[in-house]
Chains A and B, each alone.
Chain A
Amino acid sequence: MQETLRIEHLSKTFPGQAALIDVSLSVAPAEVHALVGQNGSGKSTIIKILAGYHQPDPGASAWVDGHPLQLGDGEDAQKLGLRFVHQDLGLVGMLSAVENLALSVGYRTGFARHIKWSEERRMARQALADLGVEGIDVTAPVAALPPSQRTAVAIARALVGWEDGAKLLILDEPTATLPDDDVKRLFEVIHRLKDRGVSILYVSHHLDEVFELADRVTVLRDARKVAETTVSELDHEGLIELIVGHQISHGTSSEVAVGGDAILSVRGLWGGTVEGVDLDVRPGEVVGIAGITGSGREDLLGLLAGQTPRLAGTVTIGSVEVANFDPRAAMASGVAFVPAERSVRGTIGTMSVRENLTVTDLSRHFVRGRIRRRQEITETEQWIQRLSIRTSSTEAIIGSLSGGNQQKVMFGKALRLHPEVLLLDEPTQGIDVGAKEQIHQLVDEAAGEGMATVVASTDTDELVRLCNRVVVMVDGRIAKVLTGGDILPERIEHIQLQTSRRAS
């Protein structure tokens, strides 16, 4: 039988890094095929090559239903029947379901090119009904719809013009933001599609979904395919082993003398994806927070630092309670925070290195009624030297620095507060290797000076490198705490995949 999708010898090399090495993949007709692997294993690179965002290295070939597919050509993929629903869904929030659908196929127009709205609405309802989804308000802005309905609209949009020959639907992490009930509904949609002969390539971190949904699974690890097998031949443990592999550990982090009572105490913390967390951190200790996206890892530090509001729970430093949703008060009680997504929450793009650095506390330079510029520049120069920030001057606009150097400025603006508690959210996200190591050394130094440090990171190697203790989160709660020699990348990855909200 003709395979719906067949890829052979697919490699992709980014400067200094191989993202895919000689990967092959085949998806049978009416098959749900799961694609799994750690962050950075190459899953998303495959999707991006199929969708035409990236060009593959020469030598790769692919066929859809026996027709040769030009990899890296999005139009060709579309023409041959590949349809994509990316993780962020790609809908325009202000527009209705009708309008979002029309973005891909255009409107049916009548006299003088007026849009036949009633017909458009009927078509949209029909497209959603075909997926077994009823009762969606197709005229409401999609931003106002619940997540499962948004996902349905995105799928419907991917499949409109079904008759034109959609053959393979590629779903990238469709359940990352869906509550349990909605996941069930999404599965029904997928089963319906399968019944109609559509193949599905399903990318997910949730292994339970793989077992519930998929016929076959392809496992990627470190840019290579390590397995392509029928799901029924695997058990949960076996799949995790395939994903994680047996890496040799880099050894544990430096043994820092950690003593005394906890300085940071978190009790019963709820908010965002966090659903009840207790945590104690002692001075000089570096605690890592691990977990897949949606596990609570991404929200935990923001809740402590006042970035996002806590729904319940207390945070205390020493004996002082840290105010909720108030970064200024949190800073006053001894917290310094380096947020994730530097350009969104960290840097002030219109300002210089000096102004970005000193914004956390200007009072020390505000002497006798005015800011003492000279004194401010002196302090900035000291930080530039201490953190080896590469910049043309203290007055350079922050955006003229490289990502790593911008991040060092962010560290400077936190460290200059001499905090008791240092919270680092994805501290080395998107920066080069050299700067990463320098930032790791800064964390070591901060701990050496007695700061209680919490690092949330998707980079397990980073957690192994830095932490005395790693807290692995699953479904908003702490699943496991690793200490000392138990802090190994494969252990962390194993645990964060092991349990899931749908495992019960």
Chain B
Amino acid sequence: MIRRLGFDRFSALYLWALFMLYFGITKHATFFSSTTFKLVLQENVIVGVLALAFLVPLATGTYDLAIGAQMSLSLVISSTLAQHHTVPNLLGMVIALVACGVAGAVSGFFVVKLNVNSFIATLGMSQVITAVVYHTSFQSINSPFTNSFESIGAGNFLGVQRYVWYLLVLAIILWFVLEHTPAGRFMFATGGNPEAARLAGVQTNRLVWSSLIVSGVIAGFAGVVYSWKVGDYDTTVGPGYLFPAVAAVFFGASQLKGRANVWGTMIALYALAWGIEGLQLTFINSNWVQPAFEGVALLLAVALASYQGVIRVRRAKPNATPDAPGSGGATAEAGGGGPPVVTSVASSAPGSDAEGHTGPLAVTHGADESA
């Protein structure tokens, strides 16, 4: 029943529809106004960009928790350079993105060369970057950006701010690379089973490293969007966006297909955003709404997907040809390395030959198997 209606793979869409319906009825005047629509769309672009930054390394099974700090870094650099009128704004932006890319490369060095768990390495890097941000911002004067700087990204295009379209373009590019090029396929292979991918000729180290660099640059872009949108900056702003971004990616991973993906992330992001908007209209002056809602939605979505996966494995078990007795197969070592696993679905079925080394977000769905 759950599967037929697609509650597992489209739960965010159902949720979205539910919010529309409920808040549309209770708050229809404000909720269904074009102002609200634009507001929600624009307010969540920064989180959206940051979510895509998190998604890229996650495809390879790597966590990048430094993206919030990298966003701050980009803000500080572009703002500092903007005060030197000799540096063109666009060049300042590029320098900021490059700096974030370099920070990502340093994370990559620790992860790939020194074999530090990505969770730890990027957490550490995040603090180091924050230190750089504080130091830089202390030396420069905190001043608003110039108009010409903001004009690159701000201003309307087809009714909404330009940066909304930038997010869409970025999403399309990443979707294409991840789903339609060998590089993307190899990234997911690396995330699924790094050793198997390596033995199949995938350059896993290079992919992990580059994904961290790309993630740094995208996080830097999130900082640039922030400067366009807010026109001012604050050194502490970046890390606050980390959780909603991560939540959107993880929630999104349970959507559409059985692994982290671009459109699932976008759908999850905006489903959550509409829910939060509706709740905030209902409970005025309520800052608790957002974290409560994001937290609960993430827990429920991932739990639902895991539950589905467990059912799939149980169903698959009787059909599988039993292995020769006593041979034991190689399942004992399942659950091998990699970062913490969100849903290690298959490993919960001892004795089956199902694979247990699922990487992050290996939310396996059974919907493809009509048998």
Contact = CB atoms under 8 A, between A and B. Distances in A.
A213 B56 CA distance: 58
**For the side of the interface on A, what is the size category?**
35 or more
Interface string A63-85: 00000000000000000000000
Contacts of B346: 349, 399
Interface residues of B, number: 56
A416 to B, nearest CB: 11
Query: Which one of B316, B330, B371 has the highest number of Cβ atoms from chain A below 10 Å of its Cβ?
Result: B330
B274 interface: no
B132 interface: no
Contacts, number: 173
A177 interface: no
B261 to A, nearest CB: 12
Contacts of B312: 400
Contacts of B159: none
A194 interface: no
B354 interface: yes
Contact of A400 (B197, B199, B354, B357): B354
A223 to B, nearest CB: 11
B2 interface: no
B155 interface: no
Query: Which one of A339, A344, A349 has the highest number of Cβ atoms from chain B below 10 Å of its Cβ?
Result: A349
Nearest to A88: B332
A343 B324 CA distance: 16
A360 B201 CA distance: 6
A446 B326 CA distance: 30
B97 to A, nearest CB: 24
Contacts of B201: 327-328, 331, 359-361
A19 B258 contact: no
Contacts of A44: 326
B333 A359 contact: no
Interface stretch (A234-242, A282-290, A312-320, A425-433): A425-433
A370 B182 CA distance: 8
Contacts of A392: 368-371
Interface of A: 14-17, 19, 40, 44-45, 305-307, 327-328, 331, 337, 339-352, 355, 359-363, 366, 369-371, 392-393, 395-406, 413, 429-433, 435
Interface of B: 176, 180-182, 185-186, 188-189, 191-193, 195-203, 258-259, 312-313, 316, 319-331, 333-334, 336, 346, 353-359, 362, 364, 366, 368-371
Given A398-B355, A400-B316, A402-B320, 6 more contacts: A15-B325, A306-B199, A343-B357, A344-B357, A392-B371, A430-B327
Q: Which 8 A-B pairs have the closest CB atoms?
A: A349-B355, A14-B325, A430-B329, A402-B321, A350-B192, A341-B330, A399-B354, A362-B182
29 contacts: A17-B326, A342-B329, A342-B330, A343-B356, A345-B196, A345-B199, A346-B199, A348-B193, A348-B196, A349-B354, A349-B357, A349-B358, A350-B191, A350-B358, A355-B189, A359-B186, A369-B181, A370-B176, A371-B182, A371-B185, A393-B368, A400-B319, A401-B320, A403-B329, A403-B353, A405-B321, A430-B323, A430-B327, A431-B324
